[in-house]
Amino acid sequence: MAKPKAELPSAEAIRALMDGESRLAIRVTPGARVEALEVVDGSLLAKVRARPEDGKANAAVQELLARALGVAATRVKMLRGATSREKLFRIRD
């Protein structure tokens, strides 16, 4: 069975949450049933299927965020939070 497409907000909605240095704070839920990005109360929540083992969940969040913004995954860099649910990414255009 094919996995369903991830639910993604618009790129404009995500970019509106970035600070002046193109940084974006995200709260991550690994091991979710569906992959999704949600804007809730002015913050971004990411749900990924991958488990938090060997950086798999971090890579899944990076890919999901890149897909939502329409940029290459190499343009999305994690600055902080490799072992935390609270992560900080920088997006280079």
Looking at residue 7, what is its pLDDT?
Answer: 85
pTM over 0.95: no
The CATH number of residue 60's host domain is 3.30.1200.10
Helix (H, G, I), strand (E, B) or coil at 13: helix
What amino acid occupies position 26? I
pLDDT at 2: 58
The number of folded domains in the chain is 1
Contact between 43 and 25 under an 8 Å Cβ cutoff? The reply is yes
Question: pLDDT 10s digit of each residue in the chain, 93 long?
Answer: 556 778 899 999 999 999 999 999 999 999 999 999 999 999 999 999 999 999 999 999 999 999 999 999 999 999 999 999 999 999 997
Q: Is residue 1 part of a domain?
A: no
Task: Give the H/E segment covering residue 47.
Answer: strand 43-47
76: containing domain: 11-91
Whether 26 maps to a domain, the answer reads yes
